[in-house]
């Protein structure tokens, strides 16, 4: 039975795609797990990273919102992660205009597919809407990447409201696994924001924090962080976070 994990935040630029892709690399290349990556973001950054210049041939995440899908096509990527990708096109955003009932369709179309994997990783869109709803309906767990600022707590409020509504109405098994800090700088302002998040969300903040490091920028162009030159410290921070994620999954099993 696959464990389905959605990386979500309604704000862009917080590291959601980076964490999702690097976690997929970690699971596949370090832990030797079978991994399906579902790119639900119409910006298609994760698809571009995983494909490493290859053309997208899979069923697209946009297609999954249709009432009928003749066949769900999975694309193999160079590093062994299977992909259902996203197309970067204006049509990709039309999903948000669909009836809410169609947010249930991705789960329906993927039910048989996910049984073939140990993990399914979902990169959610940086907005509240049908794509996010469809992602959360598919998921067992949500991980919320954040950057620390004075607005870190308030920025999660709408997202957590959406998670609660999906849990009540469509997916009772959905759990928030934790909040992951990205680009930590240990300034006074960030420490204040960290304290505010800890107080507002007790028990949810992961202890491991990923600092702002240039090797992560290199990795975001299509490499596992542990293969990036001079990326040892960044790799260790990522591995610490991912180890915590796996432990929390085990503890919740």
User: For residues 235 and 210, is the Cβ–Cβ distance under 8 A?
Assistant: no
What SS3 string covers 106-154?
HHHHHCCCHHHCCEEEEECCCCCCHHHHHHHHHCCEEEEEEECCCCHHH
C-alpha torsion sign, points 148, 88, 138, 26: negative
Rounded Cα–Cα distance for residues 28 and 46 (Å): 16
What are residue 178's DSSP bridge partners? 143
User: In degrees rounded to 5, what are phi and psi of residue 204?
Assistant: -95, -25
Q: What is the pLDDT of residue 106?
A: 96
* β-strand pairing of 141-147 with 3-7: parallel
**Percent of the chain's residues with pLDDT above 90:** 64
Q: Considering only CA atoms, which of 89, 179, 165 is closest in space to residue 129?
A: 165
The pLDDT tens digits for 162-209 are 899 999 999 999 999 999 999 888 888 888 888 888 888 889 999 999
**Per-residue confidence band for 46, with pLDDT thresholds at 50, 70 and 90:** very high
Beta carbons within 8 Å of 203's beta carbon, 6+ residues apart: none
The pLDDT tens digits for 66-84 are 999 999 999 999 999 999 9
Of residues 133 and 91, more confidently modeled: 133
Q: What is the pLDDT of residue 100?
A: 75
Q: What is the CATH number of the domain that holds 50?
A: 3.40.50.300
Residue 171 burial (CB count, 10 A) = 18
Of residues 72 and 89, more confidently modeled: 72
The alpha-helical segments, DSSP class H, found in the chain are 16-25, 45-51, 105-110, 130-138, 152-169, 188-200, 214-219, 232-252
Q: What is the mean pLDDT of residues 110-131?
A: 92
Residue-range definition of the domain harbouring residue 62: 3-252
Domain count, the chain: 1
Residue with tokens 């596949």: 28
Q: Considering only CA atoms, which of 36, 109, 115, 116 is closest in space to residue 77?
A: 36
């Amino acid at each position: 039975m696959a464990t389905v994990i959605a990386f979500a935040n309604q704000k862009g630029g917080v590291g959601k795609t980076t964490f999702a892709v690097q976690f997929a690399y970690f699971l596949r290349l370090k832990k030797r797990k079978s991994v399906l990556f579902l790119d639900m973001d119409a910006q298609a950054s994760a698809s571009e990273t995983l494909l490493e210049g290859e053309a997208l041939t899979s069923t697209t995440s946009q297609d999954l919102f249709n009432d009928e899908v003749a066949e769900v096509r999975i694309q193999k990527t160079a590093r062994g992660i299977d992909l259902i990708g996203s197309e970067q096109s204006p049509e990709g955003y039309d999903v948000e205009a669909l009836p809410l009932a169609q947010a249930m369709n991705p789960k329906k179309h993927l039910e048989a597919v996910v049984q073939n994997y140990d993990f399914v990783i979902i990169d959610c869109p940086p907005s509240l809407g049908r794509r996010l709803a469809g992602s959360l309906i598919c998921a067992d767990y949500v991980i919320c990447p954040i950057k620390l600022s004075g607005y870190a707590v308030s920025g999660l409020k709408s997202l957590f409201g959406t998670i609660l509504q999906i849990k009540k109405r469509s997916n009772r098994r959905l759990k928030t696994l934790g909040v992951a800090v990205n680009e930590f700088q240990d300034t006074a302002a960030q420490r204040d924001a960290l304290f505010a998040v800890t107080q507002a969300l007790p028990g949810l903040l992961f202890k491991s924090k990923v600092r702002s490091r240039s090797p992560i920028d290199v990795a975001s162009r299509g490499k596992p962080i542990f293969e990036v030159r001079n990326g040892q410290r960044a790799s260790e921070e990522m591995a610490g976070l991912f180890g915590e994620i796996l432990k929390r999954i085990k503890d919740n099993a």
